[in-house]
Amino acid sequence: MKLLKFLAMIFNIFRKKRDKKSKNGTPKEPLLSTSREEFEGTLEVKEGKLPEDIHGVFHVSFPVGSVNSGGLPFPKKKANGEDNPEYGSPIMNGDGFVIQLDFNPNPNPKVKTKLMKTPCYYADEATKEGTKHHGLMGFHNMGITRMSMVLGGRNQLNTATQPIKFKNQINGSLLATYDVGRPYVLDPKTLELVTPVGRAREWMTAQPPMVPWPFGLIQTSAHPAFDPITQELFTVNYSKNKGSYTHLEQSLHHLKHNRHLFKSKLEALANELVDHEDTEQVKSRVNQFFHHLNDHVGGKKHDPEEPKGDVFMNLLLWKGEGALTSWTLSDQDGSKLAIYECMHQMGLTEDYIILTDCSFKFAMDMLFDNPFPESKIIERLIRRLATVKMEPFTTTYIIKRRELKPQGGFAIAYRLDLPIPLETIHYSCNYANPNGVITLVGIHNAATCIAEWVRTFDIRALDKRPVDPDYYSLFAVGSMDISRIGKWKIDAEKLTLLTDQSQVYGDAGKYNEENLGPNTWAISLYGYRGILSADEPVREIKQLWYLSDGTTKNLLTQFIYNLYKDYKHREIDLELIKKLTEKELPFGMTRLNVETMQPEEYFQFDRNVFPRGVHFIPRKTPRPTLDPELDGYLVCPVQVGNSPVNPTAYRSEFWIFDAQTIAKGPICKLSHPKIKFAFTLHTSWIPEAQPSDQKFIIPVRSDYDEVLKNLELGVDRKMLEEFFETHVYPHFN
């Protein structure tokens, strides 16, 4: 038997070497190749010249796989040759990583990288594959999040950094954020985590009360709102409706006590039903299975009378020290806010806070996507039943800041008379709200959900062929219509959406020509002068640069096509969608004049060149002849294929554009041999990387000692205390 295993390992080694060859014999590199190596160094100018007046410090955040994977992509096999259950996990499920570019030592800019090492990161390290604790305590990728049946959910801090500067601070700090975890203050000089925002006990967890996890699931916003004028940070802490938690509670119970029996029973059901034509019958059978899970699985029974908790929605305020101030929110009718999708983004003006139900299913129904990640048949069944379309609108709430009592308590989040009539993931607001009128600039990703990812069993919508494995784990954002950008006027006092004063821009571009021109195919990220500034608010957004990701055959799966073929707000008919997806429209960057809502400049990237973000950096010395909104540079993380047709390797570069003339192309390209990314998320910029002067710090030991002390329901508290003492606390002073 040992000999057979040895021979299998040798075969796998040679097979991997063979698979890494392209058609012409050149070593091939995966599209998602990403490094998690921490280092410091000096950037190299690969092309062009670094502008003498570029300055400040740029950051970009992104996920880099798990403690087991060693980066991205998630490998198909473990080191011992066994199938890897992490293979095909969504790219969004990964440890947070920050790259910092410091332009202040011009012309020799520095680069630094850092993993976001939260307490749960060290718990994950101590229970990873191959350790004695991996068994029940180990963390596993379960859909879009990473969970342990004993320890809870990972706070991966992989989404964004945000500058903050509280009263009596000179340097300020960064904030590292994630949709499902407390934000952390980050030192701009060292990129080390300084303190969580609020003690663990100040946050309510989204999992059922019967689940005694030290790392509870905290649902919040990946884009909290910081006011540079009042120097206050606002965020949210919420849960979705828990009426459906009975199935979740039972599942967690049997995963912990009767895992193998649970898996075998569910796999048998999945094999019977996954391809059944009658979806209603499939739903009925699966619901019946989970409703009577105690009878189906056997073993130690789950007590259905255990407390279930309730839906909650809290607005939180932090001023950089002391306890969080919390307001429990209801709408103007006295009803609790019902969040159906998530609160990925928040907005803020001088007089109002804006809350929205964002079109990103980063919530409990997606978090627990597959309790058995190693079983693709179960994953197929769950996706068939659990995946729903994004709501084709955005429910919006307004909080009047003047009504917030300083001591906290209750507050009203006023629901607008009409929702914004398109789905929204990201948006920004003018800080100024003259006469109580809010201007909200929204990115509307039509017929899209970035919580969906390409699975290992997906087929392409165009030709029904299997998706290229290079694309496994990526967001399944094949274009099912053009995106839009909306400038929405809201009367915050009358609670009305002023549709007659609002404007929407969307354009399919010149898709029959080589140069597509300004278009809104698959808008990803955007930037403008002053975005996320901790020093000065943007009273009016006048110029905005956004990235469009075109069309990609391998990202338009049959599943996504079927999900959105009847999209309510369709602009492009399905036959043209197919034709342009076959053509594979290129990536581009467009400057939009927000005052006129018309594009004014465009740059098209070459084939197999993928811009992954865009951020505005003001010139160190302003040019009085230039409009301030154009007086600066744009920095883009860019993944560059080495061939326009069949790339076998990719370079990770940072391209710099002159903001007023992007059509001329990048004026400088920077790189470092150790930087390797495939997909990045949000960016930020600060004038200098000075040490954080955050004085109020919550010690990790006292924070989690309190959590462990209050865990109930039969927890082996002594075991957990010893685990934290050995594997978590030593990493924190």
- Cα distances from 685 to residues 143, 307, 338, 661, in angstroms, run 32, 45, 35, 21
Q: Quick one: which of 671, 546, 550 has its CA closest to 610?
A: 550
* Cα dihedral across residues 509, 510, 516, 518: positive or negative: negative
Spell out the residues 6+ positions from residue 675 whose beta carbon is closer than 8 angstroms to its own. 35, 99, 111, 113, 652
> Which of 555, 532, 508 lies closest to 679, judged by CA?
555
Which structure tokens are listed for 704?
């989690």
Beginning with the edge strand found earlier in the chain, give each strand of the sheet holding 414-415 in spatial order.
Answer: 346-348, 352-356, 396-400, 414-415
Please list the residues that pair with 140 across neighbouring strands.
147
Amino acid 584 reads E
- H helix intervals, 94-193: 119-126, 134-137
CA–CA separation, 55 and 105 (whole Å): 8
Instruction: Report d(CA 38, CA 701) in Å as an integer.
Output: 26
Annotated binding site for Fe cation: 223, 344
Spatial CA neighbour of 576 closest among 504, 444, 459, 480: 480
Q: Are 650 and 637 in contact (CB under 8 A)?
A: no
Taken in order 249, 253, 258, 259, the sign of the CA dihedral is positive
User: What does the chain come to in residues?
Assistant: 733
Among 472, 589, 519, 662, CA closest to 75: 472
Residue numbering of the annotated binding site: 223, 344
* SS3 at position 707: helix
Tell me how crowded residue 576 is: count the other CB atoms within 10 A of its CB: 12
Residue reference for tokens 């596993």: 140
CA-atom Rg of the chain in angstroms: 25
- Please identify which residue in the block is written with the tokens 């057979």: 4
The residues with which 114 forms a beta bridge, in sequence order, are: 98
Distance (Å, whole) CA 185 – CA 319:
12
Q: Are 184 and 118 in contact (CB under 8 A)?
A: yes
Q: Say if residue 107 is preceded by a cis peptide, omega within 30 of 0.
A: yes
Contact 299, 258 (CB under 8 A): yes
170 Cβ neighbours under 8 A, 6+ residues apart: 690, 693
Q: What is the rounded CA–CA span in Å between residue 359 and residue 644?
A: 34
